[in-house]
Amino acid sequence: MTSSNKWKREEEVAINAVLRASLTTSQVFQQLVASSSMTKSDKSPVTVGDFSAQAIVNSILAREFPDDAIVGEEDADDLRSEVEDKQQLKRKVLQLANEGLTRDVEGQNTLSKTLEEEEVLKAIDRGNHAGGIKGRMWTLDPIDGTKGFLRGGQYAVCLGLIVDGKVELGVMGCPNLPVDKAAAKPKEGDFDEVKKRTDLGVIFVAKRGQGAFQRSLTDPTLRPISLRDISAASLASASFCESVESGHSSHGTNSRIAQLLGITAPSVRMDSQAKYASVSRGDGDIYLRLPVGDGSYIEKIWDHAAGSLLLEEAGGTVSDIRGRPLDFGLGRTLTANKGVVAAHKAVHAKVIEAVAKALEEEGRGHL
Ligand SMILES: Nc1ncnc2c1ncn2[C@@H]1O[C@H](COP(=O)(O)O)[C@@H](OP(=O)(O)O)[C@H]1O
Ligand SMILES: [Mg+2]
Ligand SMILES: [Mg+2]
Ligand SMILES: [Mg+2]
């Protein structure tokens, strides 16, 4: 097998699955989140979106690669409840999953027969695998950036293929990101803008050793992407990308790191692995995810698998706050790592030095 053929079929299947799930989450956003009846505290649309997207991707993987394990964020326990609310949720998920799976998408993967309730629940529960170092497994975050999804910001459907603990393929759908990286991102909370714009929706694809690419939701042509070329000398001109949520990443520590590196541009805040994607195509240079508080939070593999490979293949280095590579072979979580630091190869080590200094100053040098 030539290197460009490696993972060819997996890539095709993963793109089709992520594309379908992205179209369905978009539909849920348009119909439920952006509807006038939605109250601010109502989290149910994201739940409908999560379950439907996981059902769609897992059904396709189960059919195409029946022996592969899946480590997915969600499970169907809630949908098995007899409570009327959950029954209603289940019916909605069944309908959306079937619509998503039977939609005509690039002439591929159409189901001959719609799924029954129990089949949809089973598909979602295929994501229960424990992970580990041996063999092939997929990892799925059906909606990464649930907060972003609800506020009309960025979110991503993220699928990675991990083989013997290494991410080999990553496919990520970002329905609210402009295809053109130079175009302005929709203003957060402006649901009408997201609904109206026709230039939104990107799929990112990376295969180990074969580069990083993007395509739109409608045109299958893959176009190469890469990080902005930045050297240690021009580090001061860099910009940061960080979480919107201050509970997910320490904004204060990030500011100090910027100061230490002489960076003055304000950080770009964005939900989800769209951060990895943005930096990968040169819109932002450094992705920082500094642990908050005592650093007891353990990152999940589905929050980083696809994004980290994309950024590496686009010319970057991804590590934790100590410069250790992310270890995807230890189960469902990144137990050997703390936080994430991602940047162009040429400046990554310098960023890690500044991270260590900033944590030391805060009395968190032990993290
Ligand atoms: N205390 C914490 N620290 C870091 N990440 C956290 C966290 N609590 C939740 N998360 C993860 O942060 C992800 C979103 O990341 P970001 O802040 O970059 O948008 C969430 O994914 P989901 O939205 O899929 O649940 C969730 O898994
Ligand atoms: Mg997530
Ligand atoms: Mg999620
Ligand atoms: Mg979650």
Q: Which fold has domain 3-224?
A: Fructose-1,6-Bisphosphatase; Chain A, domain 1 (3.30.540)
Ligand number with the minimum distance to the CA of 304: 2
Question: Which residue, judged by its Cα, is nearest atom 18 of ligand 1?
Answer: 272
> What sign has the CA pseudo-torsion 328, 332, 338, 344?
positive
**Angle, nearest 10°, between helix axes 8-28 and 84-102?**
130
Task: Give distance in angstroms: CA of 200 to centre of ligand 4.
Answer: 23
Contacts 24+ apart (CB under 8 A), 347-352: 347/230, 347/231, 347/232, 347/235, 347/238, 347/285, 347/286, 348/316, 348/317, 348/319, 348/323, 349/323, 350/232, 350/235, 350/261, 351/257, 351/261, 351/286, 351/288, 352/319, 352/321, 352/322, 352/323
User: Known binding site for Mg(2+): residues?
Assistant: 73, 141, 143-144, 303
In angstroms, the CA 300 to CA 254 distance is 21
Residue 260, pLDDT score: 97
Residue 1, pLDDT score: 52
In angstroms, the CA 202 to CA 216 distance is 5
In angstroms, the CA 157 to CA 274 distance is 10
pLDDT tens, position by position, for the chain (367 residues)? Answer: 555 789 999 999 999 999 999 999 999 999 988 777 777 777 888 899 999 999 999 999 999 999 999 999 999 999 999 999 999 999 999 999 999 999 989 887 677 789 999 999 999 999 999 999 999 999 999 999 999 999 999 999 999 999 999 999 999 999 999 999 999 999 988 999 999 999 999 999 999 999 999 999 999 999 999 999 998 889 999 999 999 999 999 999 999 999 999 999 999 999 999 999 999 999 999 999 999 999 999 999 999 999 999 999 999 999 999 999 999 999 999 999 999 999 999 999 999 999 999 999 999 999 9
Task: Choose the residue to mutate in 144, 150, 253 for probing ligand 1, maximizing ligand atoms within 8 Å of C-beta.
Answer: 144
Torsion, Cα 36 38 39 44, to 10 degrees, reads: -170
CB of 247 within 6 A of ligand 1: the answer is yes
User: Known binding site: residues?
Assistant: 73, 141, 143-144, 303
Task: Give distance in angstroms: CA of 352 to centre of ligand 2.
Answer: 24
Burial class (CB in 10 A: 0-12, 13-18, 19+), 364: middle
Neighbour-count burial for 42-78, b at 16+ CB within 10 Å, e otherwise: eeebbbbbbbbbbbbbbbbbbebbeebbbbbbbbbee
Residue 236, pLDDT score: 94
CB of 298 within 6 A of ligand 1: the answer is no
Residue 231, pLDDT score: 87
Burial class (CB in 10 A: 0-12, 13-18, 19+), 189: exposed
Cβ atoms of 325 and 187 within 8 Å: the answer is no
Segments making up each domain of the chain, as ranges: 3-224, 232-361
Which residues share a beta bridge with 166? Answer: 163
What CATH number labels 232-361? Answer: 3.40.190.80
In angstroms, the CA 200 to CA 214 distance is 13
Spatial CA neighbour of 179 closest among 317, 52, 283, 316: 283
Task: Give distance in angstroms: CA of 83 to centre of ligand 4.
Answer: 22
Alpha carbon separation from 185 to 19, 153, 240, 280 (Å, rounded): 20, 9, 16, 16
Q: Which two tokens stand for residue 301?
A: 């593999």
ipTM for the predicted complex: 0.99
CB of 220 within 6 A of ligand 1: the answer is no
In angstroms, the CA 316 to CA 340 distance is 13
Q: Is there a catalytic annotation at residue 285? A: no
Catalytic entry in 25, 50, 253, 285 = 50
Residue 96, pLDDT score: 97
Task: Give distance in angstroms: CA of 124 to centre of ligand 2.
Answer: 16
In angstroms, the CA 266 to CA 273 distance is 19
Task: Give distance in angstroms: CA of 89 to centre of ligand 1.
Answer: 24
Parallel, antiparallel or unpaired: strands 316-319 and 268-269: unpaired
Q: Is there a catalytic annotation at residue 68? A: no
Question: Which residue, judged by its Cα, is nearest atom 11 of ligand 1?
Answer: 248
| Atom of ligand 1 minimally distant from the CA of 155 | 19
DSSP letter assigned to residue 34: T
Cβ atoms of 163 and 136 within 8 Å: the answer is yes
